[in-house]
Chains A and B, each alone.
Chain A
């Protein structure tokens, strides 16, 4: 079956611009997670959705970051006024609640 998909696979933007990253979870998975991975490090948690609501957004670094999941399926991570320090790979994962998490291929964001 289809796994988690993320678009775009690569995104290059200029400092100060707005970007949106999309995640399509595995069908039927109610939980969706966003993580960020810097070069040479393990992924770090950003936000977790259970259905349509953000159950835990404690990992979002500041108010420039926001994520939505309006219909309980696809999620969009939005970053305003991008900074060079936002450059990283953004990973999305989905699961049945508290179950094994399955990851997408990631979006590599580069802020020039």
Chain B
């Protein structure tokens, strides 16, 4: 059974810092990996999707990497802003099915 873990569970940083969020998964047989953002009381917004054959994806200040063989992904946020404060979730799509398995999320607070 696929298990996804996110570390740290919570993170507080001052504005302007570069930061890294970590995601690990136990079964490397994945089809893709998605990073999502969730604001309090809201649904999930897809940030980046990395196919299993890719090593990284970039969107603006966000960069996500994937090392499938070691079961790890990182989300790098450059020059963090208070508006980046949210919960960040990673999720993997299995080869064998179409359900996403989610990590528990990292709650990020960026202080002005």
Contact = CB atoms under 8 A, between A and B. Distances in A.
A45 B101 CA distance: 7
Interface of A: 4, 31, 33, 35, 40-45, 48, 50, 55-56, 59, 91, 93, 97-98, 100-106, 108
A33 B98 contact: yes
Given A59-B99, A102-B46, 18 more contacts: A31-B98, A33-B99, A35-B102, A42-B89, A42-B91, A42-B102, A42-B105, A43-B89, A45-B101, A56-B97, A91-B44, A93-B44, A97-B98, A98-B31, A98-B32, A103-B44, A105-B42, A106-B42
B93 A45 contact: no
A10 to B, nearest CB: 10
A110 to B, nearest CB: 13
Contacts of B46: 100-103
A33 to B, nearest CB: 7
20 contacts: A33-B98, A33-B99, A33-B100, A35-B102, A42-B91, A42-B102, A42-B103, A43-B89, A43-B100, A45-B101, A91-B43, A100-B32, A100-B49, A101-B34, A103-B44, A103-B46, A104-B43, A105-B42, A106-B42, A106-B43
Contacts of B98: 31, 33, 48, 50, 55-56, 97-98
Range of interface residues on B (Cβ < 8 Å)? 20 to 34
